[in-house]
C-alpha cells in the first residue's frame, strides 16, 4: 500500500519564500515539516541555475513525503531606479529643489540621473515621486523632455540605485521586461505551478502574460499599484489567483488605506473563487527575533478570519535568523484561529453567491448538508481543479479531500483553502468512486468508521467541468448507507 500523508490540521495555507536562509534541501525539508504548504521562488535575486536546484530539491522531497509540492515563481517586473551618486550617496534637504535628468553623470545633493525616459513623458506638475520605499518624497514642480524639477517634501540621504515609486501615474511600461520573459520561459520549463506577475497596472498586462503562459501554469497577479486597484475587476478577470502585495501598496498609498483594500481584494477573490494570498511583513520582526510582536500575530489572524487562502512569509523565511520558527508560528496562529468558536461566523462575512450552474449549486449545498448530517469530510474528484476551487470558495465546515489523476492539478491545490490533495489513479465507475473515496478518507485519517463523507464528482468521469453528483456515504465496514443527489 502506497504511503498517503494526512492533512495539516488547518485550512489556511502557508506560502514560504526561499532564500539564503532556506535554500538547502535540508532547510526546505524542515520548512515542510514545520507546516509550509507552498514555496515562493523570488526571481529578483539569484540566477536561474540556483533556482533550478531549488525546484529539484522541492520535487525530490515531494517524492519522499508523498505530499504534492506547490511552487510559485515570482517575476521581478520593471524596477524604476535613480542612478549612481558621487561617493555613493548624497544628503538632500527638505524644502530644497532637486533635479532628475537623463544625464549619466554621478548624482549630487542637487540632481540625479533618472534612466527611465518613459517617466519624463508620463509625470505632470503636482505628481509625487517616492524614493527608497517612500523615505524621500518629491513633488514635481515642472517637466521638460530631459528634466523633471521637483521640490523635496521629505528629505534625507539618497544613495545609488534606490527605487522610485510613482503613485499618481499610470506608468507606460509593460509589466514584463526582457528579464521577466527569460525567467518566465525558465519557470515554465521547470514546471512552475503558479507564476506571480509584478507591476500589474491594467488588464492588458495580464493578458500578455496569459498568452505566454497558456495553461502551463496558473497566473497570480500581485496587487501592489494604485492603478491596479482602480482596474481590479478587469485584472482579476484574466487571472487565476491574486496576491495582496502590501509592501508597495503601503508605499504608494497612505498606510491607513491598506487594511481596507486588503479586505476588499480578499473578499472579491473569494466571490470569484480565485485563491488569494496576503503577503508582506506579516511576521517581520521574526527576521531577527525568535518570536513575533502581538500586532503581527493579530495581523496574520485577521487575514485568516477574512478567509484568505494563504498567508505568506517573505524575508522571514528567505533571509531571517528563524525561518522554521516563523513557519511554525504561522501554523500555530492558523490552528488557533480556526479552532475559535467564532471563526465559522466571521469567515462567512463575505457572501459567495453561486453561479446558475449545477456544479456551483452542489458546491453550495455541500456545506449545508455537511452541517445537517454531521459529515467528517468532503471528497471531490477533479481533472482540472475547478470543482475543488468551487467547494473551497464556500469555506465549508469540514476538510476537503481532493483526488485527481493529474499531478499538476494536485500541486496547484497547495494554495487553495481547506484542501488536502492526493494524486491517485482515476476511477471508471460510480461504485469505484465511492469505494476509493472511503479508503482514502480512512488512510488520510480524515474520517473513521461510523462517520459520513460527502462525495462530489462528475459523471461520466473524465469530463472537465461536469460535476453533477453529490453522494453521502457512511464508513461502516463494507456496508454503504447512502443518499444521492
DSSP classification of residue 292: -
Q: How confident is the model at residue 368 (pLDDT cuts 50, 70, 90)?
A: confident
Q: How much is the pLDDT for 2?
A: 44
Residue 481: the pLDDT is 47
229 pLDDT exceeds 70? yes
Domain borders along the chain are 13-77+175-343, 86-165, 358-484
- Point out the catalytic residue in the list 79, 81, 97, 443: 81
- 452 in active site: no
Cell numbers given for 118: 518613459
DSSP codes joined into one string, 231-254: THHHHHHT-SEEEEEHHHHHHHS-
Q: Report whether pLDDT(146) > 90.
A: yes
Three-state helix/strand/coil letters over 136-166: EEEEEEEEECCEEEEEEEECEEEECCCEEEC
Distance CA 442, CA 440 (A): 5
Q: Residue 265: which of 298, 223, 305, 293 has the closest Cα?
A: 223
- Considering the candidates 8, 10, 11, 40, report the single residue annotated as catalytic: 40
CA–CA distance from 177 to each of 79, 114, 288, 336, 381 (Å)?
A: 9, 18, 33, 42, 39
Known catalytic residue at 81: yes
Over residues 319-334, the mean pLDDT reads 98
Contacts of 350 (CB under 8 A, 6+ apart): 266, 267, 270, 271, 306, 307
Per residue in 40-98, pLDDT tens? 999 999 999 999 999 999 999 999 988 999 999 999 999 999 999 999 999 999 999 99
Q: Is 280 a catalytic residue?
A: yes
Rounded CA-CA distance 159/82 in Å is: 9
H or E stretch at 316: helix 315-318
- Binning pLDDT at 50, 70 and 90, where does residue 1 land? very low
Answer whether 20's CB lies under 8 Å from 320's CB: no
* 40 has catalytic annotation: yes
Average pLDDT, the chain: 92
CB atoms within 10 A of CB 33: 13
Active-site position among 280, 352, 404, 444:
280
Residue 90 β-bridge partners: 158
Angle at 449 between CA 444 and CA 451, to 5 degrees: 90
Choose, from 51, 222, 270, 395, the residue flagged as catalytic.
Answer: 222
Cβ atoms of 325 and 35 within 8 Å: the answer is no
- How large is the angle between the packed helices 358-373 and 386-393, nearest 10 degrees? 50
CATH, domain 86-165, list 3.40.1190.20, 1.20.20.10, 3.40.190.10, 2.40.33.10: 2.40.33.10
Instruction: Provide the pLDDT for residue 356.
Output: 82
- Stated as kind and residue range, the H or E segment containing 324 is helix 323-338
DSSP for 83-95?
Answer: --BGGGEEEE-TT
More confident site: 127 or 368: 127
Single pTM value for the model? 0.92
Hey, what CATH class is 13-77+175-343 in?
alpha beta
Give 304's pLDDT tier (boundaries 50, 70, 90).
very high
The residue with cell 540621504 is 157
Span 193-214, pLDDT tens digits: 999 999 999 999 999 999 999 9
Three cell numbers written together for 421: 490533495
Alpha-carbon span 297 to 100, nearest angstrom: 41
CB distance 316 to 326 below 8 Å? yes
- Could you give the CA distance from residue 374 to residue 113 in angstroms, rounded to a whole number? 66
State the Cα–Cα distance between residues 117 and 125, nearest whole angstrom: 17
| pLDDT, mean of residues 457-484 | 69
In CATH, 358-484 is 3.40.50.280: no
Rounded Cα–Cα distance for residues 39 and 54 (Å): 10
Structure confidence by residue, pLDDT tens digits, 370-412: 888 889 999 998 888 988 999 999 999 999 999 999 999 999 9
Amino acid at each position: 500500500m502506497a504511503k498517503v500523508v494526512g492533512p495539516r490540521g488547518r485550512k489556511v495555507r502557508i506560502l514560504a519564500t526561499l532564500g539564503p536562509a532556506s535554500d538547502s534541501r535540508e532547510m526546505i525539508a524542515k520548512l515542510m515539516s514545520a507546516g509550509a504548504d507552498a514555496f515562493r521562488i523570488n526571481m529578483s535575486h539569484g540566477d536561474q541555475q540556483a533556482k533550478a536546484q531549488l525546484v529539484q530539491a522541492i520535487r525530490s522531497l515531494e517524492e519522499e513525503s508523498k505530499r504534492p509540492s506547490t511552487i510559485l515563481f515570482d517575476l521581478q517586473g520593471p524596477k524604476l531606479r535613480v542612478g549612481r551618486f558621487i561617493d555613493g550617496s548624497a544628503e538632500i534637504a527638505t524644502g530644497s529643489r532637486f533635479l532628475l535628468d537623463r544625464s549619466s553623470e554621478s548624482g549630487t545633493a542637487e540632481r540625479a540621473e533618472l534612466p527611465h525616459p518613459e517617466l519624463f513623458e508620463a509625470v505632470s506638475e503636482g505628481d509625487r515621486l517616492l524614493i527608497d520605499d517612500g523615505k524621500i518624497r518629491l513633488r514635481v514642480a515642472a517637466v521638460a523632455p530631459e528634466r523633471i524639477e521637483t521640490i523635496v517634501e521629505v528629505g534625507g540621504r539618497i544613495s545609488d540605485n534606490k527605487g522610485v515609486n510613482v503613485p499618481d501615474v499610470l506608468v507606460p511600461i509593460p509589466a514584463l521586461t526582457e528579464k521577466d520573459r527569460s525567467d518566465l520561459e525558465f519557470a515554465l520549463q521547470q514546471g512552475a505551478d503558479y507564476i506571480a506577475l509584478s507591476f500589474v497596472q491594467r488588464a492588458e498586462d495580464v493578458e500578455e502574460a496569459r498568452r505566454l503562459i497558456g495553461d502551463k501554469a496558473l497566473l497570480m497577479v500581485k496587487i501592489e499599484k494604485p492603478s491596479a486597484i482602480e482596474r481590479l475587476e478587469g485584472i482579476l478577470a484574466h487571472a487565476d489567483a491574486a496576491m495582496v502585495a502590501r509592501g508597495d501598496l503601503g508605499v504608494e498609498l497612505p498606510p491607513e488605506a491598506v487594511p481596507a483594500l486588503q479586505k476588499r481584494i480578499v473578499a472579491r477573490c473569494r466571490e470569484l473563487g480565485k485563491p488569494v494570498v496576503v503577503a508582506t511583513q506579516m511576521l517581520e520582526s521574526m527576521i531577527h527575533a525568535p518570536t513575533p510582536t502581538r500586532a503581527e500575530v493579530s495581523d496574520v489572524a485577521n487575514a485568516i478570519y477574512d478567509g484568505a487562502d494563504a498567508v505568506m512569509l517573505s524575508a522571514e523565511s528567505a533571509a531571517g535568523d528563524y525561518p522554521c520558527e516563523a513557519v511554525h508560528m504561522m501554523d500555530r496562529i492558523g490552528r488557533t484561529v480556526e479552532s475559535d468558536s467564532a471563526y465559522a461566523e466571521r469567515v462567512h462575512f463575505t457572501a459567495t453567491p453561486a453561479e446558475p450552474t449545477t456544479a456551483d449549486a452542489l458546491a453550495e449545498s455541500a456545506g449545508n448538508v455537511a452541517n445537517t448530517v454531521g459529515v467528517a469530510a468532503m471528497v471531490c474528484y477533479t481533472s482540472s481543479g475547478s470543482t475543488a476551487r468551487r467547494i473551497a470558495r464556500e469555506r465549508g465546515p469540514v476538510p476537503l479531500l481532493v483526488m485527481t489523476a493529474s499531478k499538476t492539478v494536485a500541486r496547484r491545490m497547495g494554495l487553495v483553502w481547506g484542501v488536502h490533495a492526493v494524486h491517485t489513479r482515476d476511477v471508471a465507475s460510480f461504485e469505484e468512486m465511492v469505494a476509493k473515496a472511503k479508503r482514502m478518507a480512512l488512510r488520510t485519517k480524515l474520517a473513521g468508521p461510523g462517520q459520513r463523507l460527502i462525495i462530489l464528482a462528475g459523471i461520466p468521469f473524465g469530463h472537465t467541468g461536469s460535476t453533477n453528483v453529490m453522494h453521502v456515504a457512511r464508513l461502516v465496514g463494507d456496508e454503504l448507507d447512502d443518499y444521492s443527489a
